[in-house]
Amino acid sequence: MMREFLEKVKNPKQKKYFTTLRTALLELPEIQEAVEIDDMEGEWCPAYRVRGADLVWVHFDEHLWISFPIEPNFEKKVAQDENLDSVAVDTVQEAEESAGVKTAKMEIKSDAEIESVLPLLRLRHSVLTS
């Protein structure tokens, strides 16, 4: 299913950034990958879960972007982690709440942005598996 999905991605930069992000995510233990319709956007998106909980969704629009839920425990860990990129921390702190769920969104327009978000997603993964 992922191969068919990727064939539809026309933007070569988005495909490159997604491949880098996907490779890093699939290296994490217990990751499940699926292509599903995102309820918020109504679009087909790669979704990554750990132990049945959403880790991150990847969206393809004008720019590649990701979304992920912010539970109170994860938000607290982000605030305490001094090694995270300030943009990633700000994104978590500024996450909007809708229907009782806080969701953070980040655009991915460079390799540097992938490098800044990966530690955040690894932290999220560790919270979900602890």
pTM: 0.92
Q: What is the pLDDT of residues 24-64, one digit of tens each?
A: 999 999 999 999 998 777 788 999 999 999 999 999 988 89
List the beta bridge partners of residue 98. 101
Provide the pLDDT for residue 27: 97
H runs (alpha helix) in the chain: 2-7, 12-26, 72-80, 86-93, 111-129
pLDDT at 100 over 90: no
CATH 3.30.390.10 fits 2-129, yes or no: no
75 by Cβ neighbours in 10 Å (0-12 / 13-18 / 19+) ranks as middle
Termini Cα distance of the chain: 30
- Contacting residues for 15 by C-beta, under 8 A, at least 6 apart: 6, 9
Domain residue ranges in the chain: 2-129
Closest CA to 22 of 3, 48, 41, 44: 48
Q: Enter the tokens of residue 86.
A: 């300030």
